[in-house]
Amino acid sequence: DIQMTQSPSSLSASVGDRVTITCRASQSISSSLNWYQQKPGKAPNLLIHSASTLDFGAPSRFSGSGSGTDFTLTISSLQPEDFATYFCQQSYSTPPAFGGGTKVEIK
Amino acid sequence: QVQLVESGGGVVQPGRSLRLSCAVSGLTFSHYAMHWVRQPPGKGLEWVALISFDGSNEHYADSVKGRFTISRDNSKNTLYLQINSLRREDTAVYYCVTDRLFPGDLFSLYFDLWGQGTLVTVSS
C-alpha cells in the first residue's frame, strides 16, 4: 500500500503570508495527488486534483505542483478564510490513502 | 442541489453491530461510485470502503476488511455501511462521499461531494 507523509503537521502564519505544505508518497504516484481543505466541524472540500488542477470554485491563490513522489500545496497570500486543516490524498491506486494533515493556524 | 445525508450513528457497545445509511439526492446516484471515509475525533481522514456505480465491485481498507460491508440500493438512492464486531478504534465520524465521475472509469478515487457525517462512538 502507498503511504502519504505530510509536513509540517501544523504551522502558524499571518494574513498575507505565503504558505507551503509538502506531501510525499512512499512510491511514485505520477500526478495522482489531490488536496482537500477542512474547516472545523465541516466535511473536507476538494481544492486541487491531479497535483495541480484547481477544482471548481477554488480561489486562484491556491496552487499545487509536483509529480512522482513529492508534491507541494502553496497558498500565495493567506486569507482569514484559509485557516483550516489541509490533507493530501493519492488517487493512484486502492487503498486511496490520505496524508496526516497540516493545520494552518493564525499567528 | 446535491445532498448526501448520513444516518444511523450513535453510541454502541464493543462487539455490537450497526448499519449506517446515506440518502443521496440531486444527482443520478446510479452513475456514481461511492465511498465511506471516517475521521476519529481530532484526527485525520481514513478511507474505509468503495463500491462501484452498479455494486459489482467493492474495496475495503485492511483495518475493516471482514467486519464492514458496503452496499447500495440504486432504486432508493441510498448507500449503506454494515459494521460488525465494533471496536473502540472504530469511533469516528463516518462520511458518505461521491467518487468524481470520469467517462470510461469505473472509479477515479477523487473524493468529490461529502455528506455532513454521522458519529459512531464505540463505548461500554
Q: pLDDT per residue over A6-48, tens digit each?
A: 999 999 999 999 999 999 999 999 999 999 999 999 999 999 9
Amino acid type, A26: S
Closest in A36, A95, A101 to B47, CB measured? A95
Say yes or no to pLDDT of A99 above 80: yes
In angstroms, rounded to a whole number, what is the distance separating the alpha carbons of residues A94 and A97? 8
Chain A residues whose CB is inside 8 A of the B111 CB are 34, 36, 44, 46, 89, 96
Q: Do B100 and A49 touch (CB under 8 A)?
A: yes
Q: List A37's β-bridge partners, or say none.
A: A45, A86
Which pLDDT value is given to residue A56?
Answer: 92
User: Would the pLDDT of B104 be above 80?
Assistant: no
Rounded Cα distance, B124 and B118, in Å: 19
Q: How many other C-beta atoms are found inside a 10 Å radius of the C-beta of residue B60? A: 20
A94–B50 CB contact, under 8 Å: yes
How many angstroms away from the CA of A36 is the closest CA of chain B?
9
Confidence of residue B63 (pLDDT cuts 50, 70, 90): very high
Confidence of residue B102 (pLDDT cuts 50, 70, 90): confident
